[in-house]
Structure 1
Amino acid sequence: MNGRSRRALLIGAVGAIAVFVVLFVLVGARRVVESLLTARPSLVAATFVLALCWLVAWSLMLRTALAALGVDIPFGKSFLVYAGAVFANNVTPFGQAGGEPIAALLISKVSDARYETGLVGIASVDVCNVVPSISLVLISVSYYATTTTVGERLEDAVGAAVALIAVVVAIMLLVWRFQNVIVDRLPSAVSGFVARLGRGQFSPRSIERNLAERLGRFFDNIGHVATDRKRLTAVIGLSLVGWLFQSIALLTAFAALGHSVSPVVVLFVIPLGNLAGAAPLPGGLGGIEAAFVALLVPTTGIAAPVVTAAVLIFRGAIYWMPVLIGGGSMAALGVRVVSR
């Protein structure tokens, strides 16, 4: 890990701690601890089991997406690879930027797939997760609005989610529309810079040719996934199953504290709260917890310390358990999160 990576990780960790300090000061740290001490161990354990089911569902997504690209990975290895990707997401700022390249490297190590093929596989999983999440938000918020007045905070959160997803989709469509231009011009534009970084070890022309070939295969692979309707449907279906497991896990975390929450609420709170993962914090740590509390307190009517305790149990299962599993799989597969 180089100095720049250490500084980024340190700054992100300090930022996460600062967010937690502010959160605990606002809701009352002592009352949060008191709520946690009342949790039923059996239901806390059930929350972790449900989180494990979510991890299994989304690792099957990755396996299915790779199958559409002609890459066959046993279920056990696909689980370890996806857990490693989640680990990378959770320990690097701006999560997905760290997780996808690491997952692609893991895929190339456990199979004969090229790096760009693995990158398309994991990117397909992330993109397909958007479809069920925004659908769940729109459907559940619409239903919630028929029974309860939608507050300004929730309106702003939904508006931000729709705007962000619209921007991402627009960028993806533009990249796909102008893929030929990108393949033709991008390699020549960056080859000289890459050659200078390599201190003359590689010629700009060979770098340009290599980049063009890799970009061409990258877009071809995207086309394979997009046109395999059977597997694409399966991927989206598994994504929905994963979101539902997360929702049930949060409901179970509240049940562990003796409270019940409307399933409709958690169906839109989880995707909306995860938008805070775009913050420059390790895996959105701190920011996502604060977003969950901000959304759940007004929509459930439950006291903030209890909500915070439930969120901490839920995030312990969704965030910290995959960190432990993924860190172990990364070590077993011999891949470092940050190169030197």
Structure 2
Amino acid sequence: MDSRQLRTTALGFLLAGVVLAVLGWLVGVDEVVAILRQADNRGVGLVGLLICGWVAAWGFGIRDVLRALDTPTSSVTGILLSAGAGFANNVTPFGHAGGEPLTGLLIVDRTSAPYERGIAAMATVDTVNVFPSVGFGLVGLGWIAVDSSLSHQLTIVAVAAVVATVVGSLLGVAGWRRRSGLAARLAAGLSHIARPIGSVMPRLTPPSRAKLTARIEGFVADLELIAGSRRTLTVVFGYSAVGWLCQIAALWAAFEAIGAPISFAAALVVVPIGSVAAALPLPGGAGGIEGLLVGLLVATPLSTLPAASVVAGVVLFRGVAFWLPTATGGIVFAESAVRQRRQRDS
């Protein structure tokens, strides 16, 4: 990352720290820390195992998408790419939108895929990941409705989830049908942006419009290839669902570990909704996801726990879910950077 990206990331972490500090101040930091200190070690270990399961499941999905694009990829490489994606998403603002360009570079380094193919693979995985999350959220809401009665707040959440899914799907279908025209306009727009960069930075030769068009067409062709493989999409959907279940179970296990259990239905609802905050201009949604999870569990009938217990459970879950892939993926990126430097020097 350049200095500007580093400043943006640092500012994002600062904002995330402010959000977390406000949460701690509202409920009492000392009380939250005391609850976390009493957490069952085996329960914390289970949270870690489930988060590892999430990273591995989504890594298998990346592996299968790359294989469908004629890029042989091992299971280990798929898991490393998944961890690397977690790192990239967690150190750049706007979640996947900020992290996928970096993940595309990692795919180029770890496989024989061109850059646009790596981006196409990650775009496919990210798109598929949306549908199981919505499904689990609606299952959780239905479970709560059958078990008791949906509150006014949760009814609004259910309606909003359905509307967002329908609108997003319609926009996606419309964009896909017009993909050729959109690709041409994107190439034209990028060429207009790249031209002045070459005049300001003489050492940097911007790609021609023809080259940009060829690469974007390659990206679209890869998407078309994956879209035509129902088997690949089905398998990736399955791995995505397993990954979401691991995250949901990890949140449930975190509250079990601190001795303040929540229902599994509540976890089914809040984890998918909480992930929406990853799109905020915060590294990996840090601060925003925690705030949304706490708000859902405190302000709705999803739990009757004291606020301090809710914050402690969310902090335990997010601490593992954020830092485990970030640390592992950081090592993957660092190893790739060192290897590339040695190759240049040799």
TM-score interval (norm. to shorter): over 0.9
After the TM superposition, which residues 164-179 of structure 1 pair with which residues of structure 2 at under 5 Å, given as runs?
Answer: 164-179=164-179
With normalisation by structure 2, the TM-score equals 0.91
Structure 1 residues 202 and 245 mapped into 2: Cα distance closer, same or farther (>3 Å)? closer
Structure 2 partner of 1:234: 235
Structure 1 residues 228 and 331 mapped into 2: Cα distance closer, same or farther (>3 Å)? same
Structure 2 partner of 1:277: 278
Select between 184-193 and 66-75 the one with higher mean Cα deviation. 184-193
After the TM superposition, which residues 144-183 of structure 1 pair with which residues of structure 2 at under 5 Å, given as runs?
Answer: 144-183=144-183
CA distance in 2 between partners of 1:26 and 1:149 (Å): 30
Structure 2 partner of 1:329: 332
- Can you give the 5+ residue segments of structure 2 that lack an aligned partner in the other structure? 340-346
Identity %: 38
Q: Secondary structure at the match of 1:198?
A: helix
Per-residue CA deviation, residues 131-189 of structure 1 (Å, 9 max, x unaligned), is 11111111220221222333344344444444444444343223211112123343234
Structure 1 residues 108 and 16 mapped into 2: Cα distance closer, same or farther (>3 Å)? same
Structure 2 partner of 1:139: 139
Structure 2 partner of 1:250: 251
Select between 56-65 and 295-304 the one with higher mean Cα deviation. 295-304
CA distance in 1 between partners of 2:2 and 2:231 (Å): 44
Per-residue CA deviation, residues 272-296 of structure 1 (Å, 9 max, x unaligned), is 0111112111111011111111112
Structure 1 residues 52 and 299 mapped into 2: Cα distance closer, same or farther (>3 Å)? same
Give the counterpart letter for 2:54 in structure 1: W
Per-residue CA deviation, residues 22-61 of structure 1 (Å, 9 max, x unaligned), is 1112222111111111101111111101110111001001
Cα RMSD after superposing both structures: 2.1
Kept in 2: contact 1:154–1:295 (CA 8 A): no
Structure 1 residues 115 and 203 mapped into 2: Cα distance closer, same or farther (>3 Å)? closer
Kept in 2: contact 1:195–1:202 (CA 8 A): no
Structure 2 partner of 1:68: 68
Structure 2 partner of 1:309: 312
Deviation at residue 201 of structure 1 after TM alignment: 7.0
CA distance in 1 between partners of 2:333 and 2:186 (Å): 32
Structure 1 partner of 2:343: none
- Can you give the 5+ residue segments of structure 1 that lack an aligned partner in the other structure? none
Give the counterpart letter for 2:321 in structure 1: I
Give the counterpart letter for 2:234 in structure 1: T
Deviation at residue 261 of structure 1 after TM alignment: 2.1
Kept in 2: contact 1:140–1:265 (CA 8 A): yes
CA distance in 2 between partners of 1:323 and 1:256 (Å): 23
Deviation at residue 335 of structure 1 after TM alignment: 8.1
After the TM superposition, which residues 72-221 of structure 1 pair with which residues of structure 2 at under 5 Å, given as runs?
Answer: 72-199=72-199, 207-221=208-222
Kept in 2: contact 1:161–1:275 (CA 8 A): no
The number of residues matched between the two structures is 335
Kept in 1: contact 2:198–2:205 (CA 8 A): no
Select between 71-80 and 173-182 the one with higher mean Cα deviation. 173-182
Give the counterpart letter for 1:283 in structure 2: G
Give the counterpart letter for 2:333 in structure 1: M
Deviation at residue 255 of structure 1 after TM alignment: 1.3
Structure 1 residues 197 and 163 mapped into 2: Cα distance closer, same or farther (>3 Å)? farther
Are residue 31 (structure 1) and residue 31 (structure 2) matched?
Answer: yes
CA distance in 2 between partners of 1:180 and 1:211 (Å): 14
CA distance in 1 between partners of 2:71 and 2:271 (Å): 32
Per-residue CA deviation, residues 189-208 of structure 1 (Å, 9 max, x unaligned), is 4323312212277888x611
CA distance in 2 between partners of 1:318 and 1:116 (Å): 28
Give the counterpart letter for 1:305 in structure 2: A
CA distance in 2 between partners of 1:311 and 1:219 (Å): 39
CA distance in 1 between partners of 2:331 and 2:159 (Å): 38
Q: Secondary structure at the match of 1:334?
A: helix
Structure 1 residues 155 and 186 mapped into 2: Cα distance closer, same or farther (>3 Å)? same
Kept in 1: contact 2:63–2:77 (CA 8 A): no
Structure 1 residues 3 and 158 mapped into 2: Cα distance closer, same or farther (>3 Å)? farther
Deviation at residue 14 of structure 1 after TM alignment: 1.9
Structure 1 residues 4 and 161 mapped into 2: Cα distance closer, same or farther (>3 Å)? farther
